[in-house]
Amino acid sequence: MFARLALCSRLPSRTRQSNVCPLSSRAYSQTKFLLPRSHGKSFAHRSELKQAKRIVVKLGSAVVTRGDECGLSLGRLASIVEQVAVLQNQGREMMIVTSGAVAFGKQRLRHEILLSQSVRQALHSGQNQLKDMSVPVLEARACAAAGQSGLMALYEAMFTQYSICTAQILVTNLDFHDEQKRRNLNSTLHELLRMNIVPIINTNDAVVAPPVPSSDLQGVNVISIKDNDSLAARLAVEMKVDLLIALSDVEGLYDSPPSTDDAKLIDIFYPGDQQSITYGTKSRVGIGGMEAKVKAALWALQGGTSVVIANGTHPKVTGHVITDIVEGKKIGTFFSEVKPAGPTVEQQTEMARNAGRALASLLPEQRGEIICSLAELLTEKKDEILSANKTDMELATASGRYSQPQINRLSLSTAKLNSLAIGLRQLAVSSRDSVGRVLRRTRVANNLELEQITVPIGVLLVIFESRPDCLPQVSALAIASGNALLLKGGREASNTNKILHQLTQEALAIHGVADAIQLVSTREEVEDLCKLDKMIDLIIPRGSSQLVRDIQRAAKGIPVLGHSEGVCHVYLDSNASIEKAIDIVRDSKCDYPAACNAMETLLIHKDLLRTPIFDQIIDMLRIEHVKIHAGPRFASYLTFSPSEVKSLRTEYGDLECCVEVVDSMNDAVDHIHKYGSSHTDVIVTENEETAEQFLQLVDSACVFWNCSSRFADGYRFGLGAEVGISTARIHARGPVGLEGLLTTKWVLRGEGHTVVDFSEQGSMKYLHENIPVPQGSFS
């Protein structure tokens, strides 16, 4: 076998059509063999692309060649080869349709011509001084002939690094139109794929005639091979390929030339949308253009092959663009025959933004009416809401995919709905003092007055898991603050979220702004939503710490408001009251263990060990079925200790907590700063001086004295509702209510003032006088 492997790596690629090159043992162990799918219909959604077994990757000239069009982009090509090798070693059948022979040949021929000219000139002049030498225009077919072998040798060397064999196939239009040649080509490709060899296909540019305009691309049975776009499409249909990935030097298909200001990248393109596209010029190299790519893509789609057109030259994504597409990520333009019934997420965002501006222009009393109407609907329609919630609970429990804390968060009750309604009515009152409120007024100069006023942030994206009660809370806050809102809930609460959103839009319709709040119900991935940086102004995640961290990583161009973890501490000082300590610890841990403001670590002053207060606290936790994890110091005091904690930064979200010992209040503060998440931390003590020092020193969003950590909540703070608790240092911190969803703008009113008037030679002087602003003043 090793002899065969060595022979396979030495032979020129043209001779490999009958040789098998097995995978290395390491690659073989990582292989995930995919079952072939029945061909006939293309994939309807991006998420289905993971099922693609047979894939063609088409590399445009702009992807393969350097910017000077003379030679290959070796780094880019290497990353593409690596991705193809990864997919091949997963058990997929990969084929490459490549450009680059002309560019590679042009580089070689230019070098030979320059070398030849320099030798002749040196012989003629008898000196080594070279004059300016001009390189003649090189004929493309000659360049292709000179470059094809070098291009293939390069692919061969790169794929050998992954123990993958390649085979070269050069075709022309006649190879597809001659029935016998077409069958031979089909048979050859199938045999190569069967032997786990990657075919590398190109048009035989050394002999092919120049492309001429034709009226083909009209049906599945007719397509001329005029460029590598049409070659890839014809090959995809001929070989019953699942997915064709066409890489170029643009992000995908735009509705107008990408260089224009209003050009929008099309996420999903449907066969009936051709008339809405305005095409620009073709790529800097190659003989095709975007129009040729679209025609070829639609032809392949009609033949049952899914198509994605994407950018293969972007330095930040080239290294994973192919694998990301196969994973179903939102990259480039996906061609689909199945048009969804509802709007796309981009259309929803645009609708929300437009309606949000109308919402912000309403009178405060009108926004309050909408919120009160929603509060009434929550109680009036409680039977329908609870019925939908029961369905979600049953499905989530039966699936076995969700933990008990997640199931608990999913649950709604009559009491919860009543509490929500009360909070919304509170918010309706406070909303009358929100948008347009004057914060500051300054007389800059005579008849020149400046105001700082509150305005909505814009379009909010709130992503939440499990908790459907989050939807009406966040919606009410968006209404009160005049913000447009995009909601993305978890699939486990889809039925509950649907009816709650319907009720929200019913309330908004009172004043004709129903579209201001949109529920994303498409198969949009969270990571893809985080890329809408030109449409979304703020992301607020509500869910697990992992969800928040994932969103913070994915949202590179959009601010994220929230906290990644709720590692909350309760510190029992040496002067703590037994009764207060027991009640506060019980409530902080056991009232709702899944909440982000529940206690996760109990810090105990060392003087309390082996005292009645310590014994009663431990007994209470055991009675409440709280599992105790001993911190390192606490474990050292015990002969038989509970399980030692794995990490002092753990958010359990259940009836579990860590118990640790500290020497003093200052040690407790140090512990909180080192292991906490800046969420909520509590001291229990009867010593006022110690308490005030703790409140001042602890750098968390919420710091409490002698009260439960569970008070860290917008409703309990009197905010009416909250979008979440922020541990950020800027904009908003702690429970984020109405104020946290507003920003400001500056309004200057003058009478023809110019800056020149205030120069040394000008006639005016700055006054900068503060003008008192009566409470409740609006611009």
- Which residue did the predictor score with more confidence, 731 or 627? 627
pLDDT bracket for residue 136 (50, 70, 90): low
Q: Compare 742 and 27 and report the one with higher pLDDT.
A: 742
Eight-class DSSP state of 147: H
Measured between alpha carbons, how far is 341 from 348 in angstroms, rounded to an integer? 13
Residue 498 has φ and ψ, to the nearest 5°, of -60, -50
Categorize the per-residue pLDDT at 133 as very low, low, confident or very high, splitting at 50, 70 and 90: low
Cα separation of 525 and 530, whole Å? 9
Two tokens, residue 421: 């309604």
What pLDDT was estimated at residue 59? Answer: 92
Do the beta carbons of residue 58 and residue 244 sit within 8 Å? Answer: yes
Residue 598 to residue 588: CA distance in whole angstroms:
5
Look at residue 111 in the predicted model and tell me its pLDDT. 67
661 pairs with which residues across the strands?
Answer: 604
CA 542, 546, 552, 555 torsion: positive or negative?
A: negative
Most distant CA pair in the chain: distance in Å? 108
Instruction: State yes or no: pLDDT of 581 exceeds 80.
Output: yes
pLDDT at 12: 37
Q: What one-character-per-residue DSSP string does 43-67 give?
A: -SSGGGGGG--EEEEEE-HHHHB-T
546-564 pLDDT, tens per residue? Answer: 888 888 888 878 999 877 6
Question: Tens digits of per-residue pLDDT, 161-192?
Answer: 999 999 999 988 888 888 899 999 999 999 99
Domains of the chain: 46-115+138-207+223-335 (3.40.1160.10), 345-554 (3.40.605.10), 569-722 (3.40.309.10)
The residue among 136 and 52 whose pLDDT is bigger is 52
pLDDT digits (tens, 9 = 90+) for 706-718: 999 999 998 899 8
Other C-beta atoms within 10 Å of 303: how many? 22
For residues 581 and 345, the model is more confident at 581
Give the per-residue pLDDT at 258. Answer: 82
Average pLDDT, integer, range 639-666:
91
CA distances from 520 to 48, 396, 494, 526 (A): 19, 20, 10, 10
User: Each residue of 24-44: pLDDT tens digit?
Assistant: 333 333 434 455 555 568 999
**Helix/strand/coil percent split, the chain, to 5:** 45, 15, 40
Looking at the predicted structure, is the pLDDT value of residue 135 above 80? no
Residue-level pLDDT at 144: 78
pLDDT tens column, 285-298: 444 578 888 989 99
What confidence tier does 209 reach under pLDDT thresholds 50, 70, 90? low
- The pLDDT of residue 69 is 62
